[in-house]
Amino acid sequence: MTTRQLFAALLLATLGLGAQASAVGVGQTPPKLQGGPWLNTPTPGGYSLEGLHGQVVLVNFWVYSCINCHNSLPTLSDWYGRYHSKGLEIVGIHTPEFESDKPLQNVKDALLQDKVVWPVIQDNNMTNWRAWDNHYWPAFYLIDRQGKLRAVYSGEISSRYPQAIPKLEATIKALLAEK
């Protein structure tokens, strides 16, 4: 283990962001993104995590009808605005909780209303949800430039529940600093 890897591991452990909330463990390669359609992408096929190697990726499981997910969007928008040009990509996985969350037009309308500009995959069949063994809305998975899962957090990140914001942002900055 290099000094930089050791430092990153210690930082994550110290921040308490290494907790496993999915079948995918920290340090492992997460499952492929499946299904669709993709929204907010230049091509209909969307993205693959393999295609995003070299970038830090924040995968966000959410649904537009969830208040905790909705309240987390300003934090995500802020991070996207500040760190996207430095190598951060956010990928939203919209996984419905109710039948009313499934229509594509409802999701498109919510993206416009909430000014979500990062790529989003619609996961109506819960394919990604099951592959990642996710259990929460919202949930956040940070993936490093080499495609390894480095941190997991579930719960609202907002001014109402700001406790995790400094820890997650510090982890994003540390991962962006890794080359």
Residue 59: how many CA atoms within 13 Å on its side-chain side?
31
Residue 114: how many CA atoms within 13 Å on its side-chain side?
25
**Per-residue pLDDT averaged across 22-32, rounded?**
86
100 touches 113 (CB < 8 A): no
6-18 confidence digits (pLDDT tens): 344 444 444 444 4
Average pLDDT value for the chain: 89
What is the structure's pLDDT at 23?
64
Residue 19 has pLDDT above 60, yes or no: no
80-121 confidence digits (pLDDT tens): 999 999 999 999 999 999 999 999 999 999 999 999 999 999
**Per-residue pLDDT averaged across 148-161, rounded?**
96
Residue 2 has pLDDT above 70, yes or no: no
Which positions ≥6 away from 47 have C-beta within 8 Å? 33, 38, 41, 89, 91, 119
Query: Would you state the structure tokens that stand for residue 2, as one six-digit string?
Result: 């290099």
Angle between helices 3-15 and 164-177 (to 10 degrees): 170
What is the structure's pLDDT at 43?
79
Residue 124 has pLDDT above 90, yes or no: yes
132-151 confidence digits (pLDDT tens): 999 999 999 999 999 999 99
Q: Which residues, in sequence order, are bridge partners of residue 89?
A: 57
d(CA 149, CA 75): 21
Domain count for the chain: 1
| Residue, of 100 and 3, whose pLDDT is higher | 100
E-only strand ranges, 14-147: 38-39, 56-62, 88-94, 120-122, 139-143
User: Considering the chain, what percentage of its residues have pLDDT values greater than 70?
Assistant: 87
150 touches 49 (CB < 8 A): no
What is the structure's pLDDT at 176?
98
d(CA 178, CA 62): 28
pTM: 0.86
Domain of residue 88 covers: 3-177
CATH value at residue 133: 3.40.30.10
Helix (H) or strand (E) holding 148, with range, is: none
Strands 120-122 and 88-94: parallel
SS3 category, 24: coil
